[in-house]
Amino acid sequence: MENSNFYIHAPIIEECINGSSKAQYRLYNLYSKAMFNLAYRMMNNREDAEDILQEAFVECFRNIASFRFESTFGAWLKKITVNKCINQINKKKIDLMLCETLPNTVYEEEDEPAYDTVKIFKGIGMLPYGYRIILTLYLLEGYDHSEISQILGISESTSKSQYSRAKEKLRNSLSTN
């Protein structure tokens, strides 16, 4: 744990590894809101997001001894949460929506209209699962297309094209509202 000197929550994590339920509660309070928001954006359903959140933390605390401080705890927990979301979606047998053609529309920076964030998040929530997952992972969570392709088991080019289609579908839905 040589990197722990630079890691702000290392003492809490160490207490969790030693079985402290108080430390688990503190860690949960530190990260639960962000992980719930991530799960909600991916699942577009409050109940599913709450279930995912609980499952992610159960797995986190069950496997916390395997956390090696090679990344931030938040990144480690985010990966668990994303994987839980994807597993839940796969259980529901929701496939990525694949289209045959890429949209022909190309937008220049100054051509893009301004939208308020409430409308944008509502629009993201109305996207089909496959589009919403890729858009959320790339745009909101900061994963690159290579990482998304590994997480979802798709090609990098499929991730890129699905992201492009998701943006186009979102633009269209925002311009009609």
CATH number of the domain residue 58 falls in? 1.10.1740.10
How many domains in the chain? 2
pLDDT tens sequence across 67-115: 888 888 888 999 999 989 888 877 765 444 444 344 444 444 444 455 5
Are both 119 and 171 inside the same structural domain?
Answer: yes
- Residue 154's CATH number: 1.10.10.10
Gyration radius from the chain CA atoms:
18
Structural domain harbouring 9? 2-91
In a domain, 104, yes or no: no
Query: Does the pLDDT at position 41 exceed 90?
Result: no
The pLDDT value recorded for residue 114 is 56
Looking at the structure, do residues 85 and 161 belong to the same domain, yes or no? no
H-helix or E-strand containing 116? none
**b/e per residue 140-161 (b: at least 16 CB within 10 A):** ebebebebbbebbebeeebbbb
Is residue 29 in a domain?
yes
Query: Do residue 31 and residue 77 come from a single domain?
Result: yes
Interval 150-163: pLDDT, tens: 778 888 888 888 88
